[in-house]
Each structure stands twice: as structure tokens, then as C-alpha cells.
Structure 1
Amino acid sequence: MFKIGYRTIKTAIGTPVAIYIAQLIGLHSFASAGIITILCIQRTKKKSLRAAWDRFVACLIAMAYSYLFFEWIAYTPPVIGLMLLFFIPTTVALRVSGGIVTSSVIILHLYASNSITVDTLLNEVGLVVIGISVAFLVNFYMPSMDRELVEYKNKIENLYRIILRELSEYLVTGNSIWTGKEIIEADNAIKKAVYYAALDLENHITGSEDSYYHYFKLRERQLAILKRILPLAGKMDLSEHEGSREIGEFIGHLSDNVHHRNTTEEHIKQLDDLLDNLKKKEIPSNFDEFERRAALFQLGKELRDYLVIKSTVKPLPFTKIKQD
């Protein structure tokens, strides 16, 4: 079973509309307006706006070059190749190379006309304006991604709760049958969430709605810390509970507070107090104990970094979508 996406639907709507308008006002080669629309429909609003600008400027350049080369040299295939040697580098230099394919339609129209007049140029401008305008208008509607973003937020937070809870269980009791699969699941979920958040950001012309993208990128950094914490936990001397129980209980408390709201100031203070108390313990008498103590403090430092990252989370937009 195949799936029809929004971009396909927009193309199916915009193409005949552009052709109809061009045909209605009597433009020659009116079907080309539909081709230009197809080439201009993009995945996001920002890309659509950029594509419209690139194609319009590139088409104007193409008309100017076509007049110079065809009228001043000849209407022959070698001249087309010669013109492209100048036209393509020009669009690249002006950073409108995205309009090369669309401009090719205009170039071939002018070549086939065998005579470039004011009316011919106005006809091509009309095709370009109609094709680009229709594409931009149908592309202006973008489906809301709020549901996907909230679902990924909830999924990632639930996975973090499990990871922290299992880590806490191991440090407090020394027992765990955890496979660690939630680490992989969280990694995959964050990658997809960042992708959707980036698309959502591209659909805001002003670029001001970046809170979800910022949130998921911070979760990505936190996951990297959790990955570093796991091997450190394996170095703890759980039989003697050299601070591992206290750290484990603290992590257990964090697992109950995995959400996007900023409550880190209190947690950072608790962690600092815990580490200060551990510093007052007797200095290790051998290298193995010293190594375990060092791993414990390194784990504490990683936890502090984890919390500091959370303190920079921006408030997420209000949504009526039910959150777990």
C-alpha cells in the first residue's frame, strides 16, 4: 500500500491551476507554467521562498543571456552549449543555482521561437510568475507537526526515566537485568525528533519558533552524557557502597523528574552537597579504591553537566495534545 504525501497533493493541485491560469490569459506554451510549478514546490516554507527567489532571478538572467547569444550569434545547438558555459557559472556566483533547471525551460522556449521580441519575453515572464506564484501559494500551507513533536518528546522522556531508574537500581542494590535497549531507542527517537523539529523550524519564516529543535538537541547532548555514565557505574564498588547508594538514590529522584520544565537549581544543589559529603570520607588506601572513588566523582561531574544542560531548556509551546 502506497502513501500519498502532502508534497504530492500540492503538486497535483498546483500544476493544473498554473496551467489553467496561463491558458486563460492566453500565454504561449502555457503547459510550461505547470512544469515550473512542479519544480518550485518544496518541502518547507523557507525552502519554497528561497526556491521562488532563485528561480525568478535565474530566469531573468536566462532571458538576458538568451537574447545576447541567440540574437547576436545564432539560433543553433552549439550556441546553447556556449551560452550555458557562461549562464551556469553566473547563477552559481549569484547563489541562485537552484533555478538552473527552471531556467532551462525558458531558454529552450526562446531558442524554439527563432526570434526574441518584447512580447516573447513578456510571455516567458508571465509563465515564470504564474508557475512560481502558484507553487508558493500551495506550499504556504504546511501541516502542523505539533502532534509528532509532542509524541517524540513524551517518548524520549519516558525512555530517559527508564534509563535513570535502571541505573539507580543498579547503584543502590547492585542488581540489574537491564539490557540497555532504551539507550538505542532513545538515540533513534532523538534523531527522528531533531529531523521533524528542523522541518517545523523551516516552516516558520521568521525562524523564531526553535524551542522544540533546541529541546531535542539538548536531549541529544544529555544522552551522550548518559552513555558516558554507564561504564563509570560499572567501576563502582557496590559491595561496600562507597557513595554509590547515595548517588543511586539521587539518580532515582532524577528519574521521577524527567520533563521539560526547569527544576535543576534544586537538583544541582543537592548533587553538590552529596559530592561535598563524599569528599569528607576517608582517603582510599590503595589504587583500586582510589580508581573507584575517582569514577564516582567523575560520575557526579557527568550528572552535574546533565543537569546544567537541562537548565538551558527553553519553554515549549503550549499544546492541547494530551501528554503522558
Structure 2
Amino acid sequence: MPKWRIGYRTLKTAVGAALAIFIAQFLQLEFFVSAGIITVLCISITKKESVRASWERIVACIIGLGYGSVIFEVLGYHPMSIAVLFLLFIPTAVAAGVKKGVVTSVVIMLHLYTYGNVSIAIWINEIFLITIGVGVALVMNMYMPSAEKILICKQVKLEECFEKIWQEYASFLRYGDNSWDGKEIAEVSSFIEEGKSLAMKNIDNHFLRHDDYFYHYFNMREKQLDVIESILPFISTLDRTVIQGEKMAGFMEELSQAVTPGNTAGYFLIRLNELREEIKQMELPKSRAEFEIRSSLFYILHEIEEYLLIKKMFKPDPKRTRTVSGKRLNRDHNRRDTN
């Protein structure tokens, strides 16, 4: 059963609707309750979405008032006129790219039907209702809670999973330990999906700056996860008695300790080339099994290189890198205290 709670969006909707109705009623507008309905419809999850939706509703309402005025005056004020009005208005709103304003416009157009006539005073009344409803919603939507702390938390947890995955790969190469259930791979995938979605909302909550750091970060990790998953079957084919497998395990353990938002790819690319040269200096394979092991080693090296190049192309944010690194240090300190 979902937990009962009052979220910030619910609170904004309640306060905004009440405020819009109060203003409209204070101005003695007809159908003042409709101002609250318009505010509720315009409350959105991001600032940019709020502006887009508000603009669509204003344009749609103006179009609706125009259609309603003409159709009701020409065909009369009866139900068949409403059918004709909707048949013409809805396709027009969709073609004009303001389909989100259809429901709001219906409320306004039915006001004309209720009046039974069209006049300048009625138009002014309706425009005031639209302005109050949309305006209050925009004011309410100016407050959006920052998602940065949540994004940083997901970033830290994701990197903990990456660290665990590389450690488990190394453990298998070194000891042949196959007790790992691979749950961290599924967790990383979940963190990435949630992180990208939240990062997109965070971008839409900034008007003056395009803060897409977190989106690019989670996108980068998604590409790296594809690489990690691709080498898993090949690691399972390696014979742990091969000395290169032992060195590969050491390299992966070192890699696991460097999973941070910062960019250390350059150092590891050098280490990777050294390891590749060592494997090239090995004697040629003498059996099919040795050939398959050698092929697996080169494939893994190639994929790890791709993993590092993906990170090398990512541009970290120094400020956020320090923040996340600080959280990791605190986590490691707490871990040592409990050991």
C-alpha cells in the first residue's frame, strides 16, 4: 500500500488553487472557481514545463474563445453547437501545438455557452480568469526543490557498485570464486535509469543555466556498464593459473579503487598498454585452450581500454567531484571504524 504523504507539488496545488480563487472572487469575476481549476491544470513538475504548459493553455483558450464566440452566435446556444465546436477546435489546437490547453479551453468555452451570449465584458472576464489561473501557477512553480543531493547520493551508490563489480571480477580471476550473484550490475542499471530521469528534471528547473553535468555523468556510466557486461562471459573462460590472469586481477583491483567522478583514465590507459605489451611478449599458444585464453585476454584488454576512453572523454565538474569524493571518504572512514 502506498505511503500517505503530502508532497511539495500537492502543497503548491492546494495553495495555488485557493489563492487563484481568492483573487478572482475578490475581483468579483464570474465563474471565479475556474481560476482555481486553471491553476491546478498548470502546476507542473519542472519550471520549464510549467512555462510551456502555461503558454499552450493561454493560446488554446484564446483560440477557444474565438471559435466559441463565432459558432455559438452563428449556430445558436444548444448541444449540437458544442459538438461542432469540439470537432473544429480540438484538431485546430493539436495542429497549433497547444493540445495541453484543450481541457482548460473547454472550461472557458462552456462559460460562453452558460452565458448564452458573447460580449466584450464576457471576454474580459474570461481573460482575467485565464491570467489569474496561469499567473498563480507560474508563481507556485518558481519553487522547485533541488535534486542535486539526491543525484549525488545516487552517484556515490553507483560508484560503490562499480567498485564492487571490479573487485568481484578480480576475485574470480585470482581465486576462481564464483559465489557472486551479480546483483550490483542490476543495481547500477537502476541507478543510471533513475539518475538520468532525475537529471533531466534538474535541467528543466534552470532557466539561466544549462546544468547537464549529471545527465552526461549517468550517460557516461551507462556506456561503461555496457562494457563491463560485455567482458563478463570472457572473464569466466580464463584459467586462473595463467600469470597474466593474476596481473589482470591486480589491474582490476587497482581500477576498483579509482571509481570516482574525477578523471584518472590517463594513468590507467598507460598501465593498460604496459599490460598489453607483457601479454604480447608471451610465448605463442601451444594448444587450442591457450589460444582461447590469449584471445580472451586481448578482448578484455580492448574492452577495458574502451571503458577508460569513455571516462577520458567525460568532463568532470571540479566542485561536484570534491563533494562526491568527500562523501566517499566519509563512507570509507565509517567502514574502517566498523571493521
Is the pair's TM-score, using the shorter chain for normalization, greater than 0.5? yes
1:37-58 C-alpha deviation (Å, 9 max, x unpaired): 0001011111101100110000
- Tell me the equivalent position of 2:241: 239
- Picking from 182, 195, 201, the partner of 2:197 is 195
CA distance, structure 1, for counterparts of residue 37 and residue 174 of structure 2: 66
- Deviation of residue 206 (structure 1)? 4.7
CA distance, structure 1, for counterparts of residue 119 and residue 92 of structure 2: 23
CA distance, structure 2, for counterparts of residue 20 and residue 317 of structure 1: 48
Within 5 A, what are the aligned runs for 1:1-324?
1-206=3-208, 208-241=210-243, 243-316=244-317, 318=319, 323-324=327-328
Does the Cα contact within 8 Å between 1:164 and 1:252 map onto a contact in 2? yes
CA distance, structure 2, for counterparts of residue 206 and residue 296 of structure 1: 49
CA distance, structure 1, for counterparts of residue 235 and residue 123 of structure 2: 72
AA at the equivalent of 1:306: Y
1:252-289 C-alpha deviation (Å, 9 max, x unpaired): 11111010001111111211221122122222123332
- Cα RMSD after superposing both structures: 1.6
CA distance, structure 2, for counterparts of residue 44 and residue 54 of structure 1: 15
CA distance, structure 2, for counterparts of residue 186 and residue 35 of structure 1: 41
Q: TM-score, normalised by structure 1?
A: 0.95
- Deviation of residue 313 (structure 1)? 2.3
- Deviation of residue 232 (structure 1)? 1.0
Q: Percent identity?
A: 40
CA distance, structure 2, for counterparts of residue 108 and residue 317 of structure 1: 56
Gaps of 5+ in 1: none
CA distance, structure 2, for counterparts of residue 15 and residue 297 of structure 1: 64
1:147-170 C-alpha deviation (Å, 9 max, x unpaired): 111111110111111111111122
State the number of aligned residues.
323
CA distance, structure 1, for counterparts of residue 90 and residue 291 of structure 2: 66
CA distance, structure 1, for counterparts of residue 17 and residue 208 of structure 2: 28
2:286 alignment partner, SS class: coil
CA distance, structure 2, for counterparts of residue 207 and residue 94 of structure 1: 29
CA distance, structure 2, for counterparts of residue 34 and residue 261 of structure 1: 48
1:97-120 C-alpha deviation (Å, 9 max, x unpaired): 010000010010011111110110
Moved more, 20-29 or 177-186: 177-186
AA at the equivalent of 2:291: F
AA at the equivalent of 1:126: F
CA distance, structure 2, for counterparts of residue 115 and residue 207 of structure 1: 48
1:178 alignment partner, SS class: coil
1:218-256 C-alpha deviation (Å, 9 max, x unpaired): 111111211111111001121233x21222111111111
Does the Cα contact within 8 Å between 1:52 and 1:132 map onto a contact in 2? yes
1:179 alignment partner, SS class: coil
- Deviation of residue 18 (structure 1)? 0.4
- Deviation of residue 317 (structure 1)? 6.9
Does the Cα contact within 8 Å between 2:173 and 2:239 map onto a contact in 1? no
Gaps of 5+ in 2: 329-339
- Deviation of residue 197 (structure 1)? 1.4
Does the Cα contact within 8 Å between 1:44 and 1:139 map onto a contact in 2? yes
